[in-house]
Structures are given as structure tokens and as C-alpha cells.
A and B are shown apart, each in its own frame.
Chain A
């Protein structure tokens, strides 16, 4: 037991600095974290095309996606990806991005290698990687791919 204790202490003291900033009392919540996927069903949109896509997506979510099981390995899911893509670009580019994503979704090989970051238990693959804007791409990649 003593040996194990010494080992713990030795291992932790190898990186002994922990207080990088002054800190204060902090409450530790007893609650169990809620990791279940939540849908954003609101119809709030900035323009008509966004409203149309959002209505379509909501309908798809409500009548199909929420009922046919968990089939999407990605975060955000394909429908949410379409929605965000249209929001970030335009309806044409968003559709192209969606079909590319759909093709990648069908590919079952090597996902771990290509999408190393896991969010909500899924491969993280946000539209920001595919808008062809190199600045957003680089900042998003370096934030999310600590390779």
C-alpha cells in the first residue's frame, strides 16, 4: 500500500505545477451529466430560404429521424449539417456540402483516422471544415485536431 502511495505521489509530482492561476472555491455538482442528443426544433430563421430548410428539417426530424434509430455516426448529424451549411453559406453550396457529406457518411472505412475528434460520442465533422474558406478551416482545424 505504501509503495502504491509513493508511486502515485511520484507520478503526480512529475508534473507538479497545477495552480496556473489563482482560484477560488468551486462547487462540484453531484448531478449526472446529460449527454443525450437534443434537437433544436425552433423555427427562428433569418431569411426565407433558411426558414424553408428549417421547416423541412424539423418535419424530417419529427416524423422520421427521431423514430428510425441512431444511424448517423457524425456530429452534427446529416440533417443538422445541411441546416448549418445553408446557414453558413447559401442554399446551393449548402446542398453540395450535404451531398459530399452523404457520400462520406456511406463510407464505412477508416472513419477514426479521418475524424479523430469525438463529440457527443460521434465523429466531429462540422460544416466549417467544408466552406472552402481557408481562414475558418484553419482556425477550426487547429482548435479541433490536436494531432
Chain B
């Protein structure tokens, strides 16, 4: 009789690992993690939350919050991601975990294009003695912050300080030298209307700008020579000045647009073809 009861319990125990709460949690973690790996991020979050809810000893606090953050990041919900990475940091048990969660917050800020926030956090980490050996990683991510901001020169400067980012430094350098100088475009149009447009390859617009400025300049000067002072001021003020300032605005804008095209082409390459570490 006793033997049979004992046998029954033994069977239950053998078949049912989950009688031990720690194993239950482990199994739950594996289950949630599997969903995460399968790309079922919404459900993965539910299961990580379930794990947290029953994890009375908070053994999984860091990793579950960290992975919830990752899930939100995959869903492009960056503010939520940052919220959970910050929660992970609070539950971190080692300085490595603190560093990891902080880096994820920085990467999310880069993706969210809140670059100044990302750079400020990087500076804070650089000043932190605990992360003295992580300088290269920090410089690497500040390079990426500049990339996403389209500041290729600053990005190149950062990457050149890190041995493992030589190819990125070269890429940023080449994008920077390919870019047009906005100031140059603007200033040459101050001197010769339309010149900045020519510099950025907008020849027709440059010609038209030049044409209007010559026409109204001539009319103005002519009016003053013929002592039609009122006409001279009117034409200069309402026509010449308008087209002259329009010409400078255009030169600047064309350079900006060209640079945007160049930047976006490079960013597209970095997003889809570059195989190194990305935010």
C-alpha cells in the first residue's frame, strides 16, 4: 500500500519538473526567450512580464527587463525600450550589466535621433571610472551618433580613434569629402548670383537667378543714373533685393539637399549592407 503511494508520488515528481518553483521560473524564462528569438515580440513581453510577476526573489529582474527593452526596440517603440532598459539598470547585479543597459539606452537614443542625449550619456560613461576599459566601445557609439545626425566629419574623427572601426572611419571620410560645402555655396552666390547653384549642379536655376539679378540690378542702376530716385529704390527694394536674397537662400538649400541625398544614400548602405555593429 505505502509502496504504491510512494510510487505515485515518485511518478508525479519525475513527470513534473515544475513542482519546483525555481524550475518553473527557468522554464518560463526559456519559453519567453523562445518567443523573443522567434520574433514574436509582443507575446514575448507578456511572458517576460509573467516571469517577473511570479519571480518573487527578483532573480530574473535584470534579464527580463533587458529583453523586454529589446522587444520594444524591435517594434520601433523606442521610448518604451528606453524605459525598460533603465529598469534593467536598476535591477543590474554587476557593473557589466549596468554598462550593457546603459549602452542599449544610448543606442535607442541614437535610433530615436535624440543625438544630444546619446552623446551626453556617452560622456557620463566616459567619466565613470568603472568603465575605464570600455572607452573604445563608447567612442564607437559616439561615432554612430554623429553618423545618424549626418555629421560625417565628426563621425570619421571618432572612428579613427578606434582600431576596430577603420573601415567606418574611411567610409565617413569619403562621404564627408563627397559632401558639398554649404557655406561655400552660399558665399559664392553672395559674390556672383547663381554661382552656388552652379556649384551644386543646378544650372538652370543658377542661370535664371543670374538673369533676374542682372535685369533688376541694371534697372536699379539705370534709374539712379536717370535720377528717378523713387523708382530706383522701389525696384532695388522690392525686386532686386528679393531675387538677390532668394538666390542666396537657394544656393544654401541646394547644397543642403544634395548633402541630404548623399547622407541618405550612405545611411541606407549602412542600414542594409554594412555588417558591423549597428545601433
**Which listed residue (A13, A23, A67) contacts B75, Cβ 8 A?**
A23
Q: For B87, what are the chain A residues with a Cβ–Cβ distance below 8 Å? A: 9
Within 8 A of B (CB), among A43-72: 63, 66-71
Q: Interface size bucket, B side?
A: 35 or more
Binds B, one of A31-39, A87-95, A110-118, A126-134: A31-39
Contact A70 B249 (CB under 8 A): yes
Complex CA distance for A114 and B86, rounded to whole angstroms: 42
Judged by a CB distance under 8 angstroms, whether A18 is at the interface is yes
Who on chain B is nearest to A11 by CB?
Answer: B83
Complex CA distance for A8 and B150, rounded to whole angstroms: 29
Who on chain B is nearest to A1 by CB?
Answer: B124
Within 8 A of A (CB), among B239-264: 242-243, 245-247, 249-250, 253, 256-257, 260, 263-264
Binds A, one of B53-61, B174-182, B228-236, B265-273: B265-273
Judged by a CB distance under 8 angstroms, whether B156 is at the interface is no
Complex CA distance for A22 and B246, rounded to whole angstroms: 49
Judged by a CB distance under 8 angstroms, whether B214 is at the interface is no
Binds A, one of B19-27, B133-141, B204-212: B204-212
Contact A24 B41 (CB under 8 A): yes
Judged by a CB distance under 8 angstroms, whether A26 is at the interface is yes
Contact A67 B267 (CB under 8 A): no
Complex CA distance for A34 and B264, rounded to whole angstroms: 9
Judged by a CB distance under 8 angstroms, whether A109 is at the interface is no
Contact B42 A23 (CB under 8 A): yes
Contact B90 A6 (CB under 8 A): yes
Interface size on A, residues (CB 8 A): 30
The binding surface of chain B is classed by DSSP as helix
Complex CA distance for A18 and B78, rounded to whole angstroms: 11
Given A29-B271, A31-B268, also A18-B80 (CB < 8 A)? yes
Q: For A24, what are the chain B residues with a Cβ–Cβ distance below 8 Å? A: 41-42, 75
Q: For B208, what are the chain A residues with a Cβ–Cβ distance below 8 Å? A: 63, 67
Judged by a CB distance under 8 angstroms, whether A2 is at the interface is yes
Contact B260 A34 (CB under 8 A): yes
Q: For B209, what are the chain A residues with a Cβ–Cβ distance below 8 Å? A: 67
Contact B243 A36 (CB under 8 A): no
Q: For A19, what are the chain B residues with a Cβ–Cβ distance below 8 Å? A: 42, 45
State the Cβ distance, B77 to closest chain A Cβ, in Å. 7
Within 8 A of B (CB), among A78-118: none
25 A-B residue pairs with Cβ-Cβ distance under 8 Å, sorted by A, are A1-B124, A5-B89, A8-B83, A9-B86, A13-B83, A18-B79, A22-B42, A23-B42, A24-B41, A25-B75, A26-B76, A27-B76, A28-B111, A30-B267, A31-B267, A32-B260, A34-B257, A36-B260, A63-B208, A67-B243, A67-B246, A69-B243, A69-B245, A69-B246, A69-B250
List 13 additional A-B contacts (Cβ < 8 Å) besides A22-B42, A34-B260, A67-B246: A8-B82, A9-B83, A9-B86, A19-B42, A28-B78, A32-B260, A34-B257, A63-B208, A66-B250, A68-B242, A68-B243, A69-B243, A69-B246
Rank and list the top 8 A-B pairs by shortest CB-CB distance, nearest first: A69-B246, A26-B76, A30-B267, A68-B246, A30-B271, A31-B264, A68-B242, A12-B83
Q: Which positions in B face A, CB cutoff 8 Å?
A: 39, 41-42, 45, 74-80, 82-83, 86-87, 89-90, 111, 124, 147-148, 150, 205, 208-209, 212, 242-243, 245-247, 249-250, 253, 256-257, 260, 263-264, 267-268, 270-271
